[in-house]
Structure 1
Amino acid sequence: MLEQLLIFTRGGLILWTYKELGNALRGSPIDALIRSCLLEERSGAASYNYDVPGAAYTLKWTFHNDLGLVFVAVYQKILHLLYVDELLAMVKREFSEIYDPKKTVYNEFDDIFQQLRKEAEARAEDIKKSKQVGKPVNNNLGKKQGQLQNGGTDGGNKKKGGGESGKDGGDGDKVKGNAKENGHSNGRTGNGVVQVNCKENGNSTAGAFDVNKLQKLRVKGGKKVDTVVNKGSKAEPTKKIKKNRVWDDSPKESKLDFTDPMSENIAVVAAVEGESMMDKEEIVSSDSETEEDEEPGKDNKVEAKKKGWFSSMFQSIAGKAKLEKADLEPALKALKDRLMTKNVAEEIAEKLCESVAASLEGKKLGSFTRISSTVQAAMEEALARILTPKRSIDILRDVHAAKEQEKPYVVVFVGVNGVGKSTNLAKVAYWLLQHNINVMMAACDTFRSGAVEQLRTHARRLQIPIFEKGYEKDPAIVAKEAIQEANRNGSDVVLVDTAGRMQDNEPLMRALSKLIYVNSPDLILFVGEALVGNDAVDQLSKFNQKLGDLSPSPDPRLIDGILLTKFDTIDDKVGAALSMVYISGAPVMFVGCGQSYTDLKKLNVKSIVKTLLK
């Protein structure tokens, strides 16, 4: 049963809607579709599932890109209606004929829709009945199986290089050619197993090793290989004798702690490091823009520069009224390959191209406009829309809001092993210190050896307090006590360091889920490497899945933002940022670009988009 069919413009104006009488939709499936698919460049997907307590819906949609219309159908997920796609196509065709941009009410479309629905349902019912009748069974397959069971008659087939073999395929089979009768044949044995000749004129058959070739390989440059090997074996390499290590009988230190003692006077890092890159605006400049400013009027040259590799591969189509899918496929395929060379996950690149194709199909191509330039412009808009944060996360503003409520602002850093959580936590602490915010670190990595000492070193260099309880403690309890300590000493922000864990490690993921559930942090930052490609999709999706599945809360907390590390090591392979944002919907809030405390900056969306498409 079709629950709802909605027609609206891309600007959000509802033109016409159909609702099943007596059935009210639970939740807001249309709003969820717009947020999760249409605005996130996932419109190339076939359908969208919306689950709420007590109901589950499937949504399908289509576009009329030339008119800027969206057609959405909603039905119960359990029904699997077969006629929805056809109905949407029929509604799209009929409504586009009566659409007027100046008109907002289309009551006359009610009767037209009822007729279209009856036709679609009747056609789907006919298809269903024809499938239930089924096709006649092919009896030839049964005959062949019976012949094989009765001894097999396939052995009489002719083989290459051999003649006809007997039906039973015994030792008495006659084989034509040069093959020897050696108990083997090209026919089928009594057990129904086909055997191939093993010998031919005393030599191995094709596929076996040729002994004559082995004889030739043994001679190299007129000398036998054995002689060379023997000569080489006489020269033995000189052995290096390792000297014994001399241990001091009376070590000066009673414990293996090589960190700087607390008594030393260490200069404040703020006086040495300078201003954090987070507060500096990055200016993006490109060669094409500079050339455009210097040489105005030369549009053709500038356009060719902007197109780059697109212009060399594709040419404009003169007189093309509307774009079709076949016209877009070459440009989209080249664009997909280009994105993958920039370290974008293959799955993400394919979905992006499908979304761009869905937004361009049926659209009119302007005069003297290349298809490649149209596709690239649409992809630039899509990438900028994905990388731009959908909701504002201003940490400084939120910190002051929490300070007014007399409670600390808690940030939890999570991620896989070895991505640099502790180091980048210290960078965030340094940035907050520059804005006169009191920061405290919480050493909740009680699993990895040396994690507490590492964080203690950063805290001492930055001259900020640290809360630690050692190793083999429950990280959720340590974080809770750290927040209580921050309340007592007046710290504005608590930065919680957690142990690195793989996304498939369920015990550690369960401990992380407990830490988040018990302490309810204000911000959960996923720390990921800019070096990863396809693995970024697996890491983020499984982190969010585990945090949701293992949380006892009915409304579990998921990842709020991303901190991308080692961004200075990837050159133009910036695709991991796009993959992470696309799969999670969380924005990239920080980018680590070096090893000092100042090497932390914001993600420049324009720069990333230009790098991905250049």
Structure 2
Amino acid sequence: MLEQLLIFTRGGLILWTCKELGNALRGSPIDTLIRSCLLEERSGAASYNYDVPGASYTLKWTFHNELGLVFVAVYQKILHLLYVDDLLAMVKREFSDIYDPKRMSYDDFDETFRQLRKEAEARAEEMKKSKQVMVDRVSNLGKKQGKQMQKLGFEGGNKKKSGGGESVKDGDDDDNNVRNAKLENGHNNRDSRVNGKENGSVKTNSGAFDVNKLQKLRSKGGKKANVVVNKVSKEEPKKKPGKKNRVWDEKPVDTKLDFTDPVSENGDGHMGVAQVFEGESMMDKDEVVSSESEEDEEVEMDKKIDSKKKGWFTSMFQSIAGKANLDKVDLEPALKALKDRLMTKNVAEEIAEKLCESVAISLEGKKLASFTRISSAVQSAMEDALVRILTPRRSIDILRDVHVAKEQHKPYVVVFVGVNGVGKSTNLAKVAYWLQQHDINVMMAACDTFRSGAVEQLRTHARRLQIPIFEKGYEKDPAIVAKEAIQEASRNGSDVVLVDTAGRMQDNEPLMRALSKLIYVNSPDLVLFVGEALVGNDAVDQLSKFNQKLADLSPSSSPRLIDGILLTKFDTIDDKVGAALSMVYISGSPVMFVGCGQSYTDLKKLNVKSIVKTLLK
């Protein structure tokens, strides 16, 4: 049974709801659909499932892009209503005929909808009956063929039984003939083998090589061969060039190559670790994006796309006069070129395909403006979609949240998670350096009790930055270590606790269970996923499985998932920036930090305009 059908504008104004249905929906399926699907450029999906305790809904929708209307149908997930798509299409057609932007109420549409629903239900029932008739026909045909085969088999068996005596006789004669033929062939084969042994010359002449010729060649060329061998043996083997002695310069070693901890001598003669200062962090600097236009490249691309589908005159005429309504066939060439371009920039294929589907749905039915090419309209729509995806849905201001937590007399806890070798410890130190520049007291918690050398690595960063570190060694429960670190931070007045965790693959269930326990026990304020900018399709798998495992293995009914992303090794990818888009699209979490070097200052914000420009370049 259909639960609800709504018609509203893209601005959020509800124009009409079905009063006849009037069912009170549990939760907020419409708001969730708009927030999680329509605004996140996932409108290319066929449907959306909404699950809350006590209810489970399926939502389907369609757009009227020219009028800016959205039509949404809601029904129970357990039901498979075949007429919903047909009903939405009919409602869209009928409502668009009476739509007036100045009107706010459409009570007269109730009777029209009632007739449309009856028509859609009747059509679905007829289709169901016709399918059943076809199934019955196929089954009856199969039964008839089975009976015929059984009948033919029965008749054949009777024939064999009636002629059984003669067949046995014939069979005996045939067996005797075959046996005699085998014996004769056996004698012939044996004779031929004997003749082959006796007449060796015949065999060797017809074989792969001639033994007599080989012996003659050996007798003629044996001496020469021996001479050659002796000459080679008399020659002394060539000596390999020896390694040259290294000459040591008396010049002092360049300080740039010395990566040990800098030390300084105090007044009492004690050697202590000097604090590192490398300048201002890039997080506090605004990145300038060049506004150079790339009209030449766009025009060339437009010409290539349009020339494949239409002639030059037709394309030019449509760009001047404008096209009546865009359809899917018009958009396919431009979307195909755009998808290929996104994939070359390291965007996962699945994400690129979904984005193109969403853009196609948002443009289908729209009127192309004058002096506008189809590819330009597609590019503009994709640019808007990418900006919406990469722009955070909720603002996460760490500095503001730290001060709020400080007023409440509790430390702000950040947990760094991710797969092996992505640079969690290094970028944790970069975040600590950035927080230090804003006069925030930071403490590190060495909760990577699994990997050898992890505690020593974090201890080195803490010594260089003059930051206290809480450690308990190896083979300890990381959840308990993190809990004790937070308690220690409350006692010594630390404002922020940065928790380092062990790197783990998304399929390693024991380590994922330990991570889920750490997050559940300590309830951190921020869970940061540290991922590489080098990965493409693997980024989708990593993030989706991390979130899935954290949800499945958590004992809480509302599990804590990933809040933000820290993207590392961003300076090694040139223009292959697609991993940022893939990660944000699959998780819905923003990229909060971007690591772009080896020093503590090499941490910056993600510039959305720069990423979008690079993706579409």
Pair 307,443 (structure 1): closer, same or farther in 2 beyond 3 Å: farther
Query: What is the aligned-residue identity percentage?
Result: 82
Over aligned residues, Cα RMSD in angstroms?
Answer: 3.1
Counterpart for residue 433 of structure 2: 430
Measure, in 2, the Cα distance between the counterparts of 1:148 and 1:381. Answer: 70
State the SS of the aligned residue for 1:464: coil
Measure, in 2, the Cα distance between the counterparts of 1:433 and 1:309. Answer: 48
Counterpart for residue 266 of structure 1: 273
Q: Is the 8 A contact 1:316 1:369 kept in 2?
A: no
Counterpart for residue 86 of structure 1: 86
Counterpart for residue 185 of structure 1: none
Deviations 1:152-195 (A, max 9, x none): 9xxxxxxxxxxxxxxxxxx99xxxxxxxxx9xxxxxxxxxxxxx
Measure, in 2, the Cα distance between the counterparts of 1:149 and 1:418. Answer: 69
- For the pair 1:326 / 2:329, whether they are aligned, the reply is yes
Shift of 1:326: 0.7
Counterpart for residue 275 of structure 1: 280
Measure, in 1, the Cα distance between the counterparts of 2:415 and 2:151. Answer: 70
State the SS of the aligned residue for 2:273: coil
Q: Is the 8 A contact 1:316 1:371 kept in 2?
A: no
Measure, in 1, the Cα distance between the counterparts of 2:152 and 2:572. Answer: 63
Counterpart for residue 474 of structure 1: 477
Aligned counterparts, 1:452-471, within 5 A: 452-471=455-474
Counterpart for residue 552 of structure 1: 555
Counterpart for residue 451 of structure 2: 448
- For the pair 1:563 / 2:566, whether they are aligned, the reply is yes
- For the pair 1:287 / 2:292, whether they are aligned, the reply is yes
Counterpart for residue 304 of structure 2: 312
Pair 359,451 (structure 1): closer, same or farther in 2 beyond 3 Å: same
User: One-letter code of the match for 2:58?
Assistant: T
Pair 119,448 (structure 1): closer, same or farther in 2 beyond 3 Å: same
- For the pair 1:543 / 2:550, whether they are aligned, the reply is no
Measure, in 2, the Cα distance between the counterparts of 1:147 and 1:458. Answer: 87
Q: Extract unaligned runs of 5+ from structure 1.
A: 153-170, 173-181, 183-213, 216-226, 243-257, 289-301
Q: Is the 8 A contact 1:443 1:452 kept in 2?
A: yes
Shift of 1:368: 1.7
Q: Is the 8 A contact 2:428 2:500 kept in 1?
A: yes
Q: Is the 8 A contact 1:2 1:20 kept in 2?
A: no
Measure, in 2, the Cα distance between the counterparts of 1:144 and 1:580. Answer: 61
Measure, in 2, the Cα distance between the counterparts of 1:401 and 1:237. Answer: 78
Measure, in 2, the Cα distance between the counterparts of 1:22 and 1:538. Answer: 41
Counterpart for residue 130 of structure 1: 130
- For the pair 1:396 / 2:399, whether they are aligned, the reply is yes
Aligned counterparts, 1:105-504, within 5 A: 105-135=105-135, 136-137=137-138, 264-270=271-277, 273-288=278-293, 303-307=295-299, 309-314=301-306, 315-316=315-316, 318=318, 319-504=322-507
State the SS of the aligned residue for 1:12: coil
Measure, in 1, the Cα distance between the counterparts of 2:546 and 2:239. Answer: 53
Pair 482,85 (structure 1): closer, same or farther in 2 beyond 3 Å: same
Measure, in 2, the Cα distance between the counterparts of 1:381 and 1:146. Answer: 67
Counterpart for residue 536 of structure 2: 533
Measure, in 2, the Cα distance between the counterparts of 1:446 and 1:393. Answer: 29
State the SS of the aligned residue for 1:134: helix
Measure, in 2, the Cα distance between the counterparts of 1:238 and 1:509. Answer: 58
Q: Is the 8 A contact 1:411 1:522 kept in 2?
A: yes
Q: Is the 8 A contact 2:5 2:71 kept in 1?
A: yes
Measure, in 2, the Cα distance between the counterparts of 1:144 and 1:368. Answer: 70
Counterpart for residue 65 of structure 1: 65
Shift of 1:327: 0.5
Pair 538,240 (structure 1): closer, same or farther in 2 beyond 3 Å: farther
Shift of 1:307: 4.4
Deviations 1:308-354 (A, max 9, x none): 53343324561520000110011101110110000000000000000
State the SS of the aligned residue for 2:70: strand
Shift of 1:131: 1.4
Deviations 1:557-599 (A, max 9, x none): 0000000000000000000000000000000000000000000
State the SS of the aligned residue for 2:18: strand
Higher normalized helix content (fraction of residues): 2
Measure, in 2, the Cα distance between the counterparts of 1:514 and 1:392. Answer: 27
Measure, in 1, the Cα distance between the counterparts of 2:422 and 2:477. Answer: 22
Shift of 1:268: 1.6
Q: Is the 8 A contact 1:336 1:350 kept in 2?
A: yes
Counterpart for residue 44 of structure 1: 44
Pair 484,283 (structure 1): closer, same or farther in 2 beyond 3 Å: same
Pair 339,237 (structure 1): closer, same or farther in 2 beyond 3 Å: farther
User: One-letter code of the match for 1:515?
Assistant: L
Pair 238,41 (structure 1): closer, same or farther in 2 beyond 3 Å: farther
User: One-letter code of the match for 2:281?
Assistant: S
State the SS of the aligned residue for 2:74: strand
Deviations 1:104-131 (A, max 9, x none): 1000000000000000000001111111
Q: Is the 8 A contact 2:262 2:273 kept in 1?
A: no
Shift of 1:287: 2.9
Q: Is the 8 A contact 2:531 2:567 kept in 1?
A: yes
Measure, in 2, the Cα distance between the counterparts of 1:120 and 1:340. Answer: 41
User: One-letter code of the match for 2:554?
Assistant: S
Measure, in 2, the Cα distance between the counterparts of 1:261 and 1:128. Answer: 80
Q: Of 592, 602, 612, which residue of structure 2 is paired with 1:589?
A: 592
User: One-letter code of the match for 1:312?
Assistant: K
Measure, in 1, the Cα distance between the counterparts of 2:152 and 2:416. Answer: 66
Measure, in 2, the Cα distance between the counterparts of 1:149 and 1:409. Answer: 83
Shift of 1:18: 1.1
User: One-letter code of the match for 2:66?
Assistant: D
Pair 316,534 (structure 1): closer, same or farther in 2 beyond 3 Å: farther
CA radius of gyration, larger in:
2
Measure, in 2, the Cα distance between the counterparts of 1:535 and 1:68. Answer: 37
Measure, in 1, the Cα distance between the counterparts of 2:289 and 2:153. Answer: 75
Measure, in 1, the Cα distance between the counterparts of 2:21 and 2:378. Answer: 42
Pair 61,470 (structure 1): closer, same or farther in 2 beyond 3 Å: same
Q: Is the 8 A contact 1:425 1:497 kept in 2?
A: yes
State the SS of the aligned residue for 1:373: helix
Shift of 1:306: 4.3
- For the pair 1:514 / 2:517, whether they are aligned, the reply is yes
User: One-letter code of the match for 1:278?
Assistant: M
Counterpart for residue 9 of structure 2: 9
Shift of 1:133: 2.0
Deviations 1:489-520 (A, max 9, x none): 00000000000000010100000000000000
Pair 370,239 (structure 1): closer, same or farther in 2 beyond 3 Å: same
Measure, in 1, the Cα distance between the counterparts of 2:380 and 2:153. Answer: 64
Pair 442,133 (structure 1): closer, same or farther in 2 beyond 3 Å: same
Shift of 1:24: 1.4
Instruction: Provide the TM-score with structure 2 as the length reference.
Output: 0.78
Measure, in 1, the Cα distance between the counterparts of 2:240 and 2:549. Answer: 54
Q: Is the 8 A contact 2:48 2:59 kept in 1?
A: yes
Q: Is the 8 A contact 1:259 1:457 kept in 2?
A: no
Counterpart for residue 166 of structure 2: none
Measure, in 2, the Cα distance between the counterparts of 1:114 and 1:283. Answer: 57
Measure, in 2, the Cα distance between the counterparts of 1:88 and 1:142. Answer: 45
Pair 478,97 (structure 1): closer, same or farther in 2 beyond 3 Å: same
State the SS of the aligned residue for 2:272: coil
Counterpart for residue 163 of structure 1: none
